[in-house]
Amino acid sequence: MELYDAIYNRRITRDFQDKTVPEEVLERIINAGLQAPTHDHLRNWEFVILQDKKDKEAALQFIKKGVEPQLEILKQILVEGTAQQKMYAIAMPRQYSMLMNSSHIILPFFKSNSGVMNPTSVSSLNPLSSIWCVIENIFLAATAEGLACSMRIPVGEEGLNVAKVVGAPQDYLLPCYIGLGYPAEGSPRVEQVEYNAKQKMHFGKW
């Protein structure tokens, strides 16, 4: 697939087919992630991959509780809401299933330092910025393979708890969970606010 096709076809997907991604494809996707730019030249990134149901359940146990009470409110929003509200209404009830039902959960860890959690400037966040370059490469490579990804940002203590469960060292942080798999047909398409470059470019001065 051409790069521009992958960029334009990439979509966060929250419903997957019950089909396993072959390991060599998974490896190609992780290798694409490893080509991302890195702030310190060290590529201090590690990937915990979960395929076994029990391993997935252990890592996802911190998600389930937070979502269930919101479901009734979200149904209403699906009918009446703005594009952003509708996105939440589709996404929230799927936070657990979109990872549990993926072929593989990828947990991308980055080596942190004291600046990341107490930033004094944008550059303090470089380790976090770098891992997001990795994550986008993974999304695009998955798209190029005919696959798709779900993604959730851990809230509150969730990331630290997941890191503990999978045995990550204390100085490695989890920016998000990624679910990788074959997208289900007919999964709801999330309405987007569309822009083109002309609306966003400011030549010379904002």
Residues lying near ligand FMN in the complex (CB under 6 A) are found at 11-12, 87, 91, 151-153, 190
In the chain, where do the E strands start and end? 45-50, 104-111, 148-152, 172-173, 177-181
Measured from the CB atom, is 56 or 152 closer to ligand FMN?
A: 152
Query: Which residues neighbour 140 within 8 Å (Cβ) at sequence distance 6 or greater?
Result: 3, 6, 7, 10, 32
Measured from the CB atom, is 111 or 152 closer to ligand FMN?
A: 152
Query: Which residues neighbour 26 within 8 Å (Cβ) at sequence distance 6 or greater?
Result: 49, 104, 180
Minimum distance from CB of 204 to ligand FMN (Å)?
29
> How many CB atoms lie under 10 A from the CB of residue 184?
15
Measured from the CB atom, is 15 or 32 closer to ligand FMN?
A: 15
Question: What single string gives the DSSP state of each residue in 22-79?
Answer: PHHHHHHHHHHHTTS--TTSS--EEEEEE-SHHHHHHHHTTTHHHHGGGHHHHHHHHH
Measured from the CB atom, is 104 or 183 closer to ligand FMN?
A: 183
Measured from the CB atom, is 195 or 203 closer to ligand FMN?
A: 195
What letter would DSSP give residue 11? -
Measured from the CB atom, is 193 or 201 closer to ligand FMN?
A: 193
Closest CA to 109 of 50, 61, 63, 52: 50
